[in-house]
Amino acid sequence: MMGFIAVENAIVAYSGKDVEDTVVVPVSTYAKEDVDSLNKYLDSFKLN
């Protein structure tokens, strides 16, 4: 997500528009004891 937002803001800035000085990127942490949550997150990026 961080890379996507960075590229998105770079394109906006390159087009001459203003971008925010600070960008909040959502972050999730996963523990090895919670493998199911991590797998669910990873599955959300799989193409059908």
Give the Cα separation of 45 and 37 in Å (integer): 14
> Of 31, 45, 36, which Cα lies nearest the Cα of 1?
45
Average pLDDT over residues 16-24: 91
Confidence band of 13 (pLDDT split at 50, 70, 90): very high
The pLDDT value recorded for residue 48 is 66
Q: Which helix (H) or strand (E) holds 14?
A: helix 2-14
Average pLDDT over residues 5-33: 91
pLDDT of 7 > 90? The answer is: yes
Give the Cα separation of 6 and 17 in Å (integer): 15
What tens digit of pLDDT does each residue of 27-44 get?
A: 888 898 999 999 998 898
Confidence band of 23 (pLDDT split at 50, 70, 90): confident
